Amino acid sequence: MKVAFLVATEGIEQVELTEPWKAVADAGHTPQLVSTESGRVQAYHHLDKADTFAVDRTVGQARPDDFDALVLPGGVANPDALRLNDGAVAFAKGFFERGKPVAAICHAPWTLVEAGVVRGRTLTSWPSLRTDITNAGGTWVDEQVKVCTSGPNTLVTSRKPDDLKAFCEALLDQLAH
> What local confidence, expressed as pLDDT, does residue 177 receive?
85
Distance CA 67, CA 12 (A): 21
Q: Tell me the C-alpha to C-alpha distance, in Å, between residue 74 and each of 99, 103, 107, 125, 151.
A: 22, 11, 5, 9, 23
Cβ atoms of 143 and 157 within 8 Å: the answer is: no
Distance CA 28, CA 2 (A): 10
pLDDT of residue 151: 86
3-state helix, strand, coil in the chain (%, to 5): 35, 30, 35
Q: Is 107 a catalytic residue?
A: yes
Active-site residue 168, yes or no?
no
Tens-digit pLDDT profile for the chain (177 aa)? 999 999 999 999 999 999 999 999 999 999 999 999 999 999 999 999 999 999 999 999 999 999 999 999 999 999 999 999 999 999 999 999 999 999 999 999 999 999 999 999 999 999 999 999 999 999 999 999 999 999 889 999 999 999 999 999 999 999 998
Set out the domains of the chain in order of their start, with CATH numbers. Answer: 2-176 (3.40.50.880)
Point out the catalytic residue in the list 29, 45, 106, 177: 106
Rounded CA-CA distance 58/62 in Å is: 6
pLDDT at 10: 96
Residue partners of 111: CB distance under 8 A and separation at least 6: 6, 72, 79, 82, 83, 88, 89, 92, 104
Of 29, 107, 148, 168, which one is the catalytic site residue?
107
Q: pLDDT at position 57, please?
A: 98
Residue/partner pairs of 127-136 with CB below 8 Å, 24 or more apart: 127/159, 133/109
DSSP-derived secondary structure letter, 138:
-
**Burial tier of 99 (Cβ tally within 10 Å: 0-12, 13-18, 19+):** exposed
